Structure 1
Amino acid sequence: MRAAGVFAWAILTAAAASAEAFSGYYFYNDSRREEDAPITNSATTLVIARRGTRTVVSMQMDYIESADMRNVAMIVPVPATFKPDTVKWLPKDVFERLDVISAPRLVESWQQDPCTYADIASIAARDKEGSPSALPDEGSTRPRGQETSRVQIDAQWRGSYVEVVEASELESWIPRWGHHIPENVAPVLRSYKEAGWKFFVVSIDPRKDEMRNGRVVLPPIQFEYDEETVRLPLRVGLLSSAGTQDVVVHVLAEDRYEAANHPNFTIPTNVEVDGSARARFGEFYASLFDATLDKNPGAFVTEYAWDAGSCDPCPGPMLSPEEKRLLGAPSGMVVHTRLHARYRKEALGEDLVLRGAPPIQGGRGGEGQASVPAEVSTFQGRYVLRHRWQGPVTCPSPDFDIWGGPPSADLVSVRPAAPSSEVVRGKVYLSAMLRDSVPAAGIVSKPRPDGGGGKRFLLGFGLGAGAGLFGTIGVVLAVTRSRRGSRRNSP
């Protein structure tokens, strides 16, 4: 893994304690005018781990490369209880794995030979030993969800110096350090200062960091603090937005989390798609997400809420216990919540406050497109592509209701969507890619052709392969139901 870039840190102290995590604003660390060539970023990913009032915050941001990117800096507001010695860098593959396991997923199933009643118990046992391989969405250029046996941290916090100043000196200190803050940014920073924040400034050498499609991707950074409430200062990050910015928040805690001061909505799930969505699944999902926000403006969309120790089906390897500890997750049962929003810089209004929320379920087949209350959280964005039987029908009473995994090992059953910040928008005809209408997004699907199979049963597929309590229960229930002749689940 590549080491982090060269960073110089300065901690600027505000007055009172507050309950916030953070996002950052980019600027030049010299006197050039920011308005002439602003530095912009397109995506921010936050991971919040809660153990009681202990909050561990990890963040990854990018920014768009432009001419002469030397002397770039980022200013980040943080809680007043923040301690410099808690700062460290994380390996980026931890964020990649977290993204893959919670990403909206395309689940493919194949109609089985209608004249052969497969042995579901043997297939369930096979799936328990190892799930079908998962590949990244086509068009994604980064490695996603690669298996690692150990977490190697090769980029611990490397500050060339730490300087503490009073909050009243913030606006005068920054120019003395060689930075220029545009006039429209100063009032926002001042509002954080008056609310009792610290700030730290990161001096960045773009030549030392990863380039991805013209974007400089910083290594994830982490710190921790104690506070009752979790507030994310997203407004300061939106100041560097190129127009519209994706914000993804992962929460690892004992409960599911949601927005406390913004509308909440769950992404429509259990939606059947046309075969044309397969090669452009990232674009398809980004279009569905945008359409959902158009019908639910200002919402934070829940894309995933599930026990962090299991998945069904799994688009990639689970987080290891070591990786969960690295992110600060509590021991025992941990719920992984993924919230996603997309905002223009002037539209957010107020920073995000998070709160615990009751469990929900959805995206497991046969439950409808909306989330419903549950005993434990098992919700995911799940989009189904069904492959009808194309072979001969050689029996008098064919059974077209049996569905299962791929007919050959080189076919992929589960694939995660590429991050929406990395896909091209507006190039797909969403209605033509859907076999189900999606009322919550205002979408009517194209006319649906007649096909075999009204009831559907998922045979030996997506049974919680390889991880956790729900995977084991999934296998046991599948075998039990098959022996009773049930075919009510849809893939």
Structure 2
Amino acid sequence: MKFFRLLTPLLLVIVAVFCFAPAAWAFCGFYVAKADTKLYNKASQVVIARDGDRTVLTMANDFQGEVKDFAMVVPVPTVVQKEQVRVTEPKIIERLDAFSAPRLVEYFDPDPCAPVYPQALSAPAPAAAMNEAMKTRDDRSLGVTVEARFNVGEYDIVILSAKESGGLETWLQRNGYKIPRGAKQLLKPYIRSSMKFFVAKVNLNKFEQSGYQFLRPLQISYQSPKFMLPIRLGMINATTEQDLIVYILSPQGQAEITNYRTVKIPSDTNVPLFVKDEFGDFYKSMFQTAYTKENKKVGFLEYAWNMGSCDPCSADPLSQEELKQAGVFWLDNNSESNVPASPTFRRPFPNSSVFISRLHVRYTRDKFPEDLIFQQTANSEFFQGRYVLQHPFQGELKCQAGREYKRSLPKRFEQEAQTLAKLTNWKIQDIRNKMKLSVGNLTYSWWENLFSWLGLY
């Protein structure tokens, strides 16, 4: 950020002019930190590219342990063939995470005694072999049918249908899939719904030959009117709350959860300057507070934006090639010239036919008894989890406007403290003490005024 602090006054005016816009999302702040999935010890990530009835589902593998013990069982609405499955690189999911993560931005108050230019007045908006014939007969006795069997990359994959959950559980265990105890009960509703099961394990020989040190994400493409994500199987052996980040890519607008409420994460608030060094702790506390307040039965919208732009950018928008790797299949049908201009911007952007919604769900078996069901909407309103550091002006203030500005600071600082306490449930006195330290380079009289105003000095 040193670069921005060394901008010449002339360039600062130019920046202010180009940043000016009446829209609430014209932030024009300087990005300084992001709340990505690295904040969470256990965060699953899923990418869903959806247009019409076609879905491309990408699942990040955060499996920890020996790869020989890896087993993935995913209910799918229809039989999936080999050409509908591929492996992709984790970098794509990392890029989506970085692009859409909630962010911290900072602004610097202008000199209140400097001449006022109208353009510069825009304020920031407050993832053992047996005989095949014998094996088939045994499968049927369990009520399990192998609909397809193939290999993709380092994975051996079978597509199963089943008549009852006990037989499916037995089949999986007999065939070397190390699934947790208790799967039987959670498999039942999928079998009743006539869903199929995408089952994957690692082919150790091919994994060794591949040279990869990690398991790559699996990507499944299928056609179905069901727009859903099965999460109940992920709760089998969960002892604590699980974080799930879902990136939904659509040619339309925002996606939302239909069987639970979708609410926006608290955003567009000014927080004290010391949060810059504690942004990870701040965001985790803020999310937990919001999650508890909503009775733990909601999905939070953390980001909604057209992939053609970002403001402020915590990472560059994904390129067309990266979006295709993420499962976006409609780009070839949308040439740049055929994409209408966004109502917010004056010109169309590359990849403006892709809208990303980032949904964050923290779930447990008792609070989320159903799988997530989504719907696409035509709502193209931009939204981001964004938290603002507003640096006070630190030069001399000899004019009347400067003196009034100086008198306004204690109230502003206290408002930031109160806001932070409300968002995080942190103790207000601890916040005030940290604020005093973080702005210690300001003239001491300002802090005398602040603490006097609070009755603490």
Give TM-score scaled by structure 2 length. 0.62
Distance of 2:197 and 2:384 partners within structure 1: 36
* Partner in structure 1 of residue 91 of structure 2: 93
Contact 1:295/1:442, CA 8 A, preserved across alignment? no
Distance of 2:319 and 2:67 partners within structure 1: 37
Distance of 1:157 and 1:246 partners within structure 2: 28
Residues 379-430 of structure 1 show CA distances to partners (whole Å, capped at 9, x for unaligned) of 11110011112223366654998xxxxxxxxxxxxxxxxxxxxxxxxxxxxx
* Partner in structure 2 of residue 303 of structure 1: 302
2:392 maps to which of 388, 400, 410: 388
1:39-118 to 2 correspondences below 5 Å: 42-65=42-65, 70-117=68-115
Given residue 162 of structure 2, which amino acid in structure 1 is its aligned partner?
A
Distance of 2:289 and 2:307 partners within structure 1: 29
1:173 maps to which of 171, 174, 190: 171
Q: Post-superposition shift, 1:171?
A: 3.3
Given residue 322 of structure 1, which amino acid in structure 2 is its aligned partner?
E
More helix as a share of residues: 2
Distance of 2:186 and 2:100 partners within structure 1: 33
Given residue 311 of structure 1, which amino acid in structure 2 is its aligned partner?
C
* Partner in structure 2 of residue 157 of structure 1: 152
Given residue 80 of structure 2, which amino acid in structure 1 is its aligned partner?
F
Q: Post-superposition shift, 1:181?
A: 4.2
Q: Post-superposition shift, 1:276?
A: 2.1
Secondary structure of the 1:436 match is helix
* Partner in structure 2 of residue 436 of structure 1: 419
2:356 maps to which of 331, 336, 356: 336
Given residue 318 of structure 1, which amino acid in structure 2 is its aligned partner?
P
Cα distance, 1:327–1:89 mapped onto 2, change above 3 Å: same
Q: 2:254 aligned with 1:250, yes or no?
A: no
Distance of 2:399 and 2:317 partners within structure 1: 42
Q: Post-superposition shift, 1:272?
A: 0.9
Secondary structure of the 1:82 match is coil
Residues 117-159 of structure 1 show CA distances to partners (whole Å, capped at 9, x for unaligned) of 598989x9xxxxxxxxxxxxxxxxxxxxxxxxxxxxxxx9315
Give the greater-gyration-radius structure (CA): 2
Cα distance, 1:53–1:275 mapped onto 2, change above 3 Å: same
Contact 2:160/2:197, CA 8 A, preserved across alignment? no
Cα distance, 1:378–1:181 mapped onto 2, change above 3 Å: closer
Cα distance, 1:308–1:386 mapped onto 2, change above 3 Å: same
Residue-pair matches, total: 327
Cα root mean square deviation, aligned? 3.7
In structure 2, runs of 5+ residues without a counterpart are 1-40, 123-150, 332-338, 340-352, 406-413, 437-457
Contact 2:103/2:314, CA 8 A, preserved across alignment? yes
Q: Post-superposition shift, 1:342?
A: 0.6
Q: Post-superposition shift, 1:87?
A: 1.1
> Could you say which structure has the greater relative contact order, defined with CA pairs below 8 angstroms and 6 or more residues apart?
1
Q: Post-superposition shift, 1:77?
A: 2.0
Cα distance, 1:311–1:229 mapped onto 2, change above 3 Å: same
Distance of 2:93 and 2:59 partners within structure 1: 9
Distance of 1:400 and 1:219 partners within structure 2: 59
Cα distance, 1:170–1:243 mapped onto 2, change above 3 Å: same
* Partner in structure 2 of residue 314 of structure 1: 313
Given residue 377 of structure 1, which amino acid in structure 2 is its aligned partner?
E
1:352-391 to 2 correspondences below 5 Å: 352-357=372-377, 359=379, 376-391=380-395
Cα distance, 1:53–1:157 mapped onto 2, change above 3 Å: same
Given residue 107 of structure 1, which amino acid in structure 2 is its aligned partner?
V
Q: Post-superposition shift, 1:78?
A: 2.0
* Partner in structure 2 of residue 238 of structure 1: 235
Q: Post-superposition shift, 1:238?
A: 2.0
Cα distance, 1:286–1:327 mapped onto 2, change above 3 Å: same
Q: 2:367 aligned with 1:347, yes or no?
A: yes
Distance of 2:199 and 2:263 partners within structure 1: 35
Distance of 1:59 and 1:358 partners within structure 2: 26
In structure 1, runs of 5+ residues without a counterpart are 1-40, 125-155, 210-215, 360-375, 402-430, 452-491
Secondary structure of the 2:241 match is strand
Q: Post-superposition shift, 1:319?
A: 0.9
Given residue 356 of structure 2, which amino acid in structure 1 is its aligned partner?
H
Contact 2:49/2:326, CA 8 A, preserved across alignment? yes
Distance of 1:121 and 1:112 partners within structure 2: 13
Given residue 436 of structure 1, which amino acid in structure 2 is its aligned partner?
T
Instruction: Calculate percent identity across the aligned residue pairs.
Output: 33
Give TM-score scaled by structure 1 length. 0.58
Contact 1:111/1:400, CA 8 A, preserved across alignment? no
Q: Post-superposition shift, 1:190?
A: 3.2
Cα distance, 1:291–1:163 mapped onto 2, change above 3 Å: closer
Given residue 354 of structure 1, which amino acid in structure 2 is its aligned partner?
F
Given residue 367 of structure 2, which amino acid in structure 1 is its aligned partner?
A
Cα distance, 1:170–1:433 mapped onto 2, change above 3 Å: farther
Distance of 1:62 and 1:55 partners within structure 2: 22
Contact 1:307/1:377, CA 8 A, preserved across alignment? no
Q: Post-superposition shift, 1:310?
A: 1.0
Given residue 299 of structure 2, which amino acid in structure 1 is its aligned partner?
F
